[in-house]
């Protein structure tokens, strides 16, 4: 409970601190999958959750910020970025009496971090409070990890526990269990951490751990799949994530077990350590990325084949509700949508004013359509911003949401005025009214 609670606190606090930059970082994508890979890796390493990164990417693809082919590199990068957590957690299994190793052990530095975290959390500054929350979350996470490792130690003498992990050396069963546990807790970092804690018993071998780790990589796709329900582009991005992991796991296990039959690896029956689990987790994700990154276009085509185009139009996708899970990113999206709404209102007024000089039926129809669009924007943005205001966010983001809520109603009123001007222009045209020179000059100043 402490382990999962600590991971949740730390992840949310990291997301809140880095959130404002996430949109900027991820929107700087080019068509280069390699650049996308490194961005995905960095973002996931910072917020400590590949699930959060992929859900964000699914939201970006659906909102049209990112093309599907750009998202592939980021998704692959997030898989590698999530291995950082397993390396941090492997510190709890360090053995040795030297001062350096003792200092690296979480039992040595976690209490210090927790104390610093509490002091920072009590500060008035929001930034210090955020950093304090990250440190507290990390300390709770590490305390949970150490408690979990110590609690499972007596299981090493239990025959049922030993035989249970012997069964998991069956690749299919191991993959299934790994995927199931990760799917339930919706975090591969957490399920890998639990496996690392169980490895403290000394009864888990590489042979039984490898299939479970493979399954954990497949299970982490559940979050993105759940979040993608409804929108076509979002489903495609989630399918890319699923295909990447399924193809990667299938290739890795086929090559590994094939080579094991020929070479009979000695380490397969050796006891796995927390450090060994981190190594396997990293090797798999790096290998899968190296093999599949050159075939990014193939993965994109496969996702499009699975979810083909339909005649149905996408709903108001610009404001994707998945992004509400990362409030700082959602604020940026709402700001961008408000800017689009402002531009529509501006163009509408300018076009309506031009109709007072020269009447044009098609332009008049365009002004009416633009006003209807602005109304839709106000409705969608208003609903989105109200939902967003109930989320936990920084003081600056909270102020932005309030400002945007007031601003959208102003833009909607400006757009209404364009229709009022249009009605006047229509009357001028119908009655063949001509302006005096003074009136024309005044209208020009207004324009």
- Rounded average pLDDT over 87-99: 75
Residues 221/241, Cβ–Cβ less than 8 Å: yes
- pLDDT tens for 191-235 read 998 999 888 888 889 999 999 999 999 998 888 888 776 667 778
Round the average pLDDT of the chain to a whole number and report it: 86
CA gap 382, 393 in Å, rounded:
18
Residue 95 pLDDT class (50, 70, 90 cuts): low
Enumerate residues 6+ apart whose C-beta is below 8 A from 352.
367, 418, 419, 421, 422, 425
- pLDDT tens for 15-55 read 777 766 666 666 666 567 788 888 888 888 877 778 778 87
Whether the pLDDT of residue 443 is over 90: the answer is no
Work out the number of other CB atoms within 10 angstroms of the CB of residue 193.
27
Residue 259 pLDDT class (50, 70, 90 cuts): very high
- Rounded average pLDDT over 148-164: 83
Q: Which residue has the higher pLDDT, 300 or 161?
A: 300
Residues 61/71, Cβ–Cβ less than 8 Å: yes
Which of 94-103, 340-349, 424-433 has the highest average model confidence (pLDDT)?
340-349
Which of 103-112, 324-333, 372-381 has the highest average model confidence (pLDDT)?
372-381
- pLDDT tens for 123-154 read 988 889 989 999 999 899 888 888 888 888 88
Instruction: Tell me what pLDDT residue 313 has.
Output: 46
- Rounded average pLDDT over 244-264: 92
Q: What is the pTM of this model?
A: 0.74
- Rounded average pLDDT over 98-114: 79
Tokens 């609690």 locate to 151
- pLDDT tens for 76-88 read 999 999 898 889 8
Residue 432 pLDDT class (50, 70, 90 cuts): confident
Copy the structure tokens of residue 426: 């229509």
Give me the percent of the chain exceeding a pLDDT of 70. Answer: 93
Residue 414 pLDDT class (50, 70, 90 cuts): very high
Instruction: Tell me what pLDDT residue 45 has.
Output: 83
Whether the pLDDT of residue 340 is over 80: the answer is yes
Burial of 2 (0-12, 13-18, 19+ CB in 10 A): middle
């Amino acid at each position: 409970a402490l382990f999962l609670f600590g991971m949740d606190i730390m992840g949310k606090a990291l997301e809140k601190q880095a959130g404002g930059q996430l949109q900027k970082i991820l929107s700087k994508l080019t068509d280069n999958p390699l650049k996308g890979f490194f961005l995905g890796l960095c973002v996931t390493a910072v917020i400590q959750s590949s699930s959060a990164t992929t859900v964000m990417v699914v939201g970006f693809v659906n909102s049209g910020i990112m093309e599907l082919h750009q998202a592939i590199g980021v998704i692959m990068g997030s898989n590698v970025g999530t291995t950082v957590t397993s390396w941090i957690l492997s510190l709890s299994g360090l053995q040795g009496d030297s001062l350096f190793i003792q200092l690296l052990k979480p039992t040595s530095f976690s209490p210090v971090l927790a104390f610093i975290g509490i002091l920072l959390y009590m500060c008035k500054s929001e930034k210090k409070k955020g950093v304090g929350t990250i440190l507290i979350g990390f300390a709770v996470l590490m305390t949970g990890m150490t408690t979990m490792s110590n609690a499972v130690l007596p299981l090493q003498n239990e025959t049922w526990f030993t035989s249970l992990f012997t069964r998991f050396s069956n690749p299919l069963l191991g993959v299934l269990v790994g995927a199931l546990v990760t799917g339930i807790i919706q975090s591969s970092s957490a399920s890998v951490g639990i496996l690392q804690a169980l490895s403290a018993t000394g009864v888990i071998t590489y042979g039984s751990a490898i299939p479970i780790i493979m399954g954990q990589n497949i299970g982490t796709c559940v979050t993105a799949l759940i979040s993608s329900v409804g929108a076509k582009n979002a489903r495609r991005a989630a399918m890319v994530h699923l295909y990447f992991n399924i193809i990667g796991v299938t290739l890795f296990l086929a090559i590994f077990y094939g080579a094991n039959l020929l070479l009979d690896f000695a380490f397969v029956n050796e006891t796995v350590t927390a450090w060994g689990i981190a190594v396997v987790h990293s090797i798999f994700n790096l290998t899968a990325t190296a093999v599949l990154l050159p075939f990014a276009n193939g993965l994109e085509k496969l996702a499009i084949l699975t979810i083909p185009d339909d005649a149905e139009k996408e709903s108001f996708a610009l404001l994707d509700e998945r992004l509400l899970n990362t409030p700082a990113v959602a604020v940026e999206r709402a700001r961008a949508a408000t800017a689009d709404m402002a531009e529509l209102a501006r163009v509408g007024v300018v076009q309506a004013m031009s109709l007072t000089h020269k009447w044009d039926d098609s332009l008049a129809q365009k002004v009416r359509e633009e006003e209807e669009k602005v109304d839709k924007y106000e409705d969608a943005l208003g609903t989105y911003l109200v939902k967003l205001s109930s989320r936990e966010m920084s003081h600056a983001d909270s102020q932005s949401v309030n400002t945007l809520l007031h601003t959208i109603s102003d833009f909607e009123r400006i757009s209404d005025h364009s229709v009022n001007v249009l009605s006047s222009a229509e009357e001028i045209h119908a009655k063949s009214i001509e302006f005096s020179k003074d009136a024309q000059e005044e209208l020009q100043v207004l324009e």
